[in-house]
Amino acid sequence: MPGSADVVIIGGGAIGCAVACFLRMRNNAPRVTVIERDPTYALASTPRASGGVRRLFSGPENIQLSNFSIPFYERFAEEMAVDGVPAEISFRKGGYLFIVDGRGTRLLEESAATQRAHGVRIDLLDRAALKHRFPSMFVDDLELAAHSLDDAWVDPHGVQQGFRRKARDLGAEFLPEEAAAIERDGARIRAVRFASGGSMTTRFVVNAAGAWADQVCAMAGMRSPIRPMRRFEHYFECETAIEPLPYVKDLDRLAFRPEGRGYTGGMPDSDEPRGFNFEVDHGYFERVVWPALAHRFPAFERTREKSVMAGLYDQNELDGNAIIGPWPDCPGFLMAAGFSGHGLMHAPGVGRAIAELILDGGYQTIDLARLGWDRVLRNEPYRERGIL
């Protein structure tokens, strides 16, 4: 086991592996070690994600991260290839559709103006236009929809494994260890100690531990507003034919997309008790998700849940936005967590951003300062106003 690295990344999911890739792709590449306690990823959040990648945000930083990350995913198979073997992630440009009743029309219109200012190709559809485009949808209680034509979805497991293989090919080390403590000398990082008893000296620690991020923060002597929140990903099939659909989301958090012969998605409960709970509620689909589906698309009256899995959001209780960048009291400790469900879609952009902070001393492409630690210390939320 190597005794030192320039950068230690705690967490080997999509975010951690993307950071490792972008660090190692640089000409002045540092020595990078990724600490992942479970190489099987049995409970990891990335493989349990829905796989959507979209530009439909209200915050300029999130839109810009998507503007970089989505084209990157479109090229992923070639750019992350190893020894000539493409890193397939089943990229599908199926579009996104946000639908709102009277509560969300102003939000959708204002967000669309910001998105268009950043080059997003989007159609705003009134009730009649929405019904014309998606005739199977019940629209009588809707006022407006935003249809982003170039958004997409990917295979989350393929993304995670593709980043991991490429990072290793580029020279990053992966250790099946559990971080137990972070040693500091005042404002400087000194080392990461492992539960096995070993340790590794380093100058930088990147906290990419997702739902476990606050535990890593505590090792450095700090706390965060990031909490684990259980959500279910359901796979279901409909017995009635429906026109091809994009990724559909509404204000009540119903979210689903086509997948193979059926659909995958769910309806996260924002009141879900926080904690590391992976127990599956096998009645949740019938009680919560199916009625919402059948209301919006009557054809889903005849649908069956085929499988379900529980996963965790790294929910930022302050504002639902990621925390990205250095902790002011210890600049060598960098956060890349708290995405609240948006980690997979922004992994490439965040990987590049963390590499810039470490190797260039500041952001060079997208200024993510408003997503940094300062807002947490001031208790001043920077909320994403779009549909979460």
Q: Tell whether 276 and 343 lie within a shared domain.
A: no
Assess if residue 387 is contained within a domain.
no
Per residue in 77-89, pLDDT (tens digit) is 999 999 999 999 9
Does 65 score more than 70 pLDDT? yes
Per residue in 360-374, pLDDT (tens digit) is 999 999 999 999 999
Mean pLDDT value of segment 373-382: 96
Confidence of residue 1 (pLDDT cuts 50, 70, 90): very low
Per residue in 3-56, pLDDT (tens digit) is 899 999 999 999 999 999 999 999 999 999 999 999 899 889 998 999 999 999
Assess if residue 91 is contained within a domain.
no
Per residue in 103-116, pLDDT (tens digit) is 999 999 999 999 99
Residue % of the chain over a pLDDT of 70: 99
Using alpha carbons only, give the angle 272, 278, 284 rounded to the nearest 5 degrees: 55
Intra-chain end-to-end CA distance of the chain, in Å: 41
Does 2 score more than 80 pLDDT? no
Does 386 score more than 90 pLDDT? no
Total number of domains in the chain: 2
Inter-residue long-range contacts of 72-78, CB under 8 Å, 24+ positions, other chains counted: 72/348, 72/349, 73/152, 73/154, 73/159, 73/348, 74/152, 76/154, 76/159, 76/162, 77/162
What domain range includes position 72?
7-76+156-225+319-378
CATH number of the domain to which 245 belongs: 3.30.9.10
Assess if residue 206 is contained within a domain.
yes
Q: Tell whether 72 and 191 lie within a shared domain.
A: yes
Q: Mean pLDDT score of the chain, rounded to an integer?
A: 96
Confidence of residue 313 (pLDDT cuts 50, 70, 90): very high
Q: Tell whether 218 and 342 lie within a shared domain.
A: yes
Confidence of residue 359 (pLDDT cuts 50, 70, 90): very high
Per residue in 253-306, pLDDT (tens digit) is 999 999 999 999 999 998 999 999 999 999 999 999 999 999 999 999 999 999
Using alpha carbons only, give the angle 152, 132, 233 rounded to the nearest 5 degrees: 35
Return the SS3 of 112: helix
Confidence of residue 203 (pLDDT cuts 50, 70, 90): very high
What is the per-residue pLDDT for 335? Answer: 98
Q: Report residue 117: phi and psi, to 5°.
A: -65, -20
Q: Tell whether 304 and 350 lie within a shared domain.
A: no
Assess if residue 140 is contained within a domain.
yes
